[in-house]
Amino acid sequence: DIWLDLQESYRAELSPTSYNAWIDTAQPLSLQNNQLIIEVPTSLHKNYWEKNLATKIVETGFKLTGQEIIPSFVTADEAPLLEPAAKPKEEAPKPVEVTKKAMLNPKYTFDTFVIGKGNQMAHAAALVVAEDPGSMYNPLFFYGGVGLGKTHLMHAIGHHMLLNQPNAKVKYVSSETFANDFINSIQNKTAEEFRQEYRNVELLLVDDIQFFAEKEATQEEFFHTFNALYNDGKQIVLTSDRLPNEIPKLQERLVSRFAWGLSVDITPPDLETRTAILRKKAAAERLEIPDDTLSYIAGQIDSNIRELEGALVRVQAFATINSSDITTSLAADALKTLKSGRGHSQLSILQIQEEVAKYYHIQMKDLKGKKRVKSIVVPRQIAMYLSRELTDNSLPKIGAEFGGKDHTTVIHAHEKIQQLIDSSATMQNEISEIKNFLLN
Ligand code: ADP
Ligand code: MG
């Protein structure tokens, strides 16, 4: 089997991280007339294969068969065949390098990151950037909801780069730290030190840049930092909970620069990925947990990976208190209070907006925009209504999230929709359907 031989020779040549990202996610579909068709998860994988990995197929293929094997790549959407069930990966977690100086969390490495449908493109892009900073995707921009692994991947890039280049200067900051450092540098008249600190790096990681919203002077400074690094070919990686053009009051020139590189979203993991994440966590903590219990827990918490980890900690604590083994029924007991107490406080305005936009088949930018046509105005008001009903956000905050509207607009929308609900059964049904999507 050519594929097995190919796997062997890639394994010998690539790091385990690369092997997992590129080879493990690929599958041979057919070999006909010397043409080997290989399915890969995303177009990014396809490019990478074509650029970096395909020649080996020709070489190895020739060695084995004496014929010229021509590889070609299709992504999962293009592949006409059904996807075979993914195989769970069982591998021992490796000891982790500690990298204090860059402020990186030693646990957030590629080794501890589980690849799944919602994050494989982001993972692949992270790996490309980590192996070859400053050349392919600059800046690299991750966006997506809370607790889905953006920060983890960002740190993994830093660790990986430091493994290859131990003397490289890597700097990780949250956007708030950047803003604070900048403001302090003005107050203390240390602008030069600030620039030294932020511009003399090979890799700058800035997390959660949605908090640059409405910070004019900080944005100005970040613009110059960005330009200095970019022009020097230094890698920049950014994250946010949404796309740059959806961040209120983010300067246009920053929005357009952020689009120079690659933006990748991370979406919530499916059940299989959540189970794999728990399995890996449990192994790292040396917990003995049966598989069906792991998938039970994964089935209970379905969006946020941080909450998923929290659930595992809770189950573990519960077992310790009761000096019992971890079983499915124990897990059910441990999570019962968590679930009922959780309510809907975890919903974000963004989730509500996305659900409403999807439900009414309109675009996010219209939902948050100023168009006055009824087909958009009503969904917009519904999204505001639900944001008020289902989250703890203040009226001004909700207004801000809808393209910077005034809080009185939100009050008006809320009243309007409440009236409609009271007077129309259709509206009642639609709202409860959307609520169902959001709360389950
Ligand atoms: P975000 O920055 O998107 O809010 P984080 O990167 O902080 O999310 O991730 C939240 C938690 O979930 C972290 O403890 C992280 O290690 C873990 N996590 C997220 N994605 C994965 C993954 N694919 N595999 C393993 N752990 C993950
Ligand atoms: Mg984060």
Report the 10 Å Cβ neighbour count for 130: 25
Residue 341 scores a pLDDT above 70? no
Q: Is the CB of 108 under 6 A from ligand 1?
A: yes
Phi, psi of 415 (to 5 degrees): -60, -45
- pLDDT at 343 (0 to 100): 47
Complex-level ipTM:
0.99
- What ligand 1 atom has the least distance to the C-alpha of 145? 3
- What ligand 1 atom has the least distance to the C-alpha of 155? 6
Better-predicted residue by pLDDT, 424 or 258: 258
pTM, rounded to two decimals: 0.67
Residue 354 scores a pLDDT above 80? yes
Q: Are strands 35-40 and 27-32 parallel, antiparallel or unpaired?
A: antiparallel
Q: Which of 55, 234, 25 is nearest to 129 (CA)?
A: 234
pLDDT band at 88 (very low <50, low <70, confident <90, very high): very low
Q: Considering the chain, what percentage of its residues have pLDDT values greater than 90?
A: 60
- Structure tokens given for 44: 């990014």
- pLDDT at 222 (0 to 100): 97
Cα(334)–Cα(296) distance, integer angstroms = 12
In the block, residue with structure tokens 């290859």: 164
Distance (angstroms) between ligand 2 centre and the Cα of 153 equals 9
Cα(39)–Cα(26) distance, integer angstroms = 6
Distance (angstroms) between ligand 1 centre and the Cα of 281 equals 11
Per-residue pLDDT averaged across 275-284, rounded? 94
Distance (angstroms) between ligand 2 centre and the Cα of 254 equals 20
Residue 75 scores a pLDDT above 50? yes
What tens digit of pLDDT does each residue of 145-173 get? 999 999 999 999 999 999 999 999 999 99
- pLDDT at 82 (0 to 100): 38
Residue 29 scores a pLDDT above 90? no
Better-predicted residue by pLDDT, 180 or 336: 180
Please name which ligand lies nearest the alpha carbon of 113.
1
User: Which parts of 26-156 are beta strand (E)?
Assistant: 27-32, 35-40, 70-75, 140-144
- pLDDT at 84 (0 to 100): 39
What tens digit of pLDDT does each residue of 195-218 get? 999 999 999 999 999 999 889 999
- pLDDT at 433 (0 to 100): 83
Count how many Cα atoms sit within 13 Å of the Cα of residue 212 in the half-sphere of its side chain.
32
- pLDDT at 340 (0 to 100): 52
Cα(7)–Cα(118) distance, integer angstroms = 25
Distance (angstroms) between ligand 2 centre and the Cα of 123 equals 15
- pLDDT at 74 (0 to 100): 85
Better-predicted residue by pLDDT, 75 or 87: 75
Residue 337 scores a pLDDT above 70? no
Taking a C-beta distance cutoff of 8 angstroms, is the pair 63, 71 a contact?
no
Q: Residue 201 to residues 170, 204, 225, 231: CA-CA distances in angstroms? A: 6, 7, 11, 13
Mean pLDDT value across the chain: 88
Q: Of the given ranges (27-31, 110-114, 331-335), which has the lowest mean pLDDT?
A: 27-31
Per-residue pLDDT averaged across 398-423, rounded? 90
Q: Which conformational region is residue 359 in: left (phi greater than 0), alpha (psi within -120 to 50 degrees), or beta? A: alpha
Please tell me whether 150 is known to bind a ligand: yes
Residue 85 scores a pLDDT above 70? no
Cα(32)–Cα(158) distance, integer angstroms = 42
Q: Which residues surround ligand 2, an ion (CB under 5 A)?
A: 150-151
Query: E strand or H helix at 404, and its extent?
Result: none
Phi, psi of 71 (to 5 degrees): -85, 145
Q: Considering the chain, what percentage of its residues have pLDDT values greater than 70?
A: 92
- pLDDT at 80 (0 to 100): 53
- What ligand 1 atom has the least distance to the C-alpha of 241? 3
Better-predicted residue by pLDDT, 169 or 67: 169
